[in-house]
Structure 1
């Protein structure tokens, strides 16, 4: 029987690319997404099953898993890919906007995991892959809420790893980079929806825009290909590796974070983010 992967957030980006990649490798794919009308290509492939799944709606999570099992008979891997980044000044965001970030990036992933674990336990195997970010390891300017959600995702994944390893289930974390922010200032202000404009921060935001543009110049042109290859490696590896950092733009920061003293790290990031 073919292996089967369920991927959340498959309508665009990493999720759609991963669905195609796994299908090309001969896997069955449950490509789940909040709005299935956005898919124009995945549902044309015989071994890809497109279905509705909103990570904020536990009933839709259960329904997607049930439908996927009815179609393919089993699920071997789940990739928690659904998520988004809330960028901007912390003070400017409403409580509701902050809670929404956690509802999708953290609690949504937890609810998907909770729904699939009985199936994984029954078959005494399974791989849970949580898509984090370099921002789950290093704090970035104007990304404190996004940072917080991804730091929490990493801590949960690391703790969960031990209890699931004891029953034959693997947990993996994939940490993409991706520094390019071509519409940075517009996104910082939440496109007028989630954030208020606080003039005192505008000079800092303008400097941050320059910094992110410089980081973006180092982004991998083949970043998506590297990320989906890392997802596949995480799904198929027969070892206990927890973290995968596939893109070169974030690797220097991760190396400094994980190999330097706190003083060295602060000095490095102050120079990078504050120009000191």
Structure 2
């Protein structure tokens, strides 16, 4: 998380290595096994961040958009082998994601972004205080179980009311209106 200009090449590559190339490599490793069994099920964990975007998260979103595109396109080719692909798209979840996994890109010399970043982080902190802000990890587990056992070819499983609301909002409003709403919500206009 942070302003793109503040991210090092190493930070960018590490994030793509884990979230995109790691997923692709694991998929390549398991697909031959599924093919030999004449069936299989891949469940990829994405995020609402693969469908909607927020400020200061360009790297995270680009990773999750890649997971979405990879999984959707892969589902066509693997369906010919009786292998299903499913995507879990959680919204905010009550975990230590922000503390354990989040790395904030910051560079003091980028003062032009100071007001923008402060406004976003302030609004984000305010949102996180709301108990309804995030869903439980159990809800994610229940959704993964549903995806595993429902016997359907459904591709996407959205988890959490925030994710459902925001994805629907973007679908209904279109890109420009959605982005305008995010900008206004986070008070990002000068």
Q: Give the structure-1-normalised TM-score.
A: 0.61
90, 113, 119: which one aligns with 1:207:
119
Deviation at 1:246, TM superposition (A): 1.4
The aligned counterpart of 1:169 is 83
The CA distance in 2 between the partners of 1:263 and 1:96, in whole Å, is: 32
Kept in 1: contact 2:120–2:188 (CA 8 A): no
C-alpha RMSD over aligned residues: 2.1
Deviation of 1:178 after TM superposition, in Å, equals: 1.2
Name 2:54's counterpart in structure 1. Answer: 140
Provide the residue aligned with 2:159 in structure 1: 246
Structure 1 residue 211, shift from structure 2 partner: 1.8
Contact 1:179-1:212 within 8 A present in 2 as well: no
CA distance in 2, matches of 1:263, 1:88: 22
Where structure 1 has 5 or more consecutive residues not aligned to the other structure, the ranges are: 1-86, 190-194
Deviation string 1:147-187 (CA, Å, 9 cap, x unpaired) is 1011011001010011111110010111111177876xx94
Residue number in structure 2 paired with 1:155 = 69
**Which residue of the partner structure matches residue 113 of structure 1?**
27
Asked whether the equivalents of residues 87 and 156 of structure 2 are also in contact (C-alpha less than 8 Å), the reply is yes
Computing the radius of gyration from Cα coordinates, the structure with the larger value is 1
2:128 matched to 1:219?
no
Q: Distance in 1 between matches of 2:98 and 2:74?
A: 36
State the 1:252 CA deviation: 1.2
* Structure with more relative contact order (C-alpha pairs < 8 Å, separation 6 or more): 2
Q: Which has the higher helix share?
A: 2
Distance 1:214 1:231 in 2: 30
Taking structure 2 as the reference length, what is the TM-score of the superposition?
Answer: 0.87
User: Do structure 1's residue 98 and structure 2's residue 24 form an aligned pair?
Assistant: no
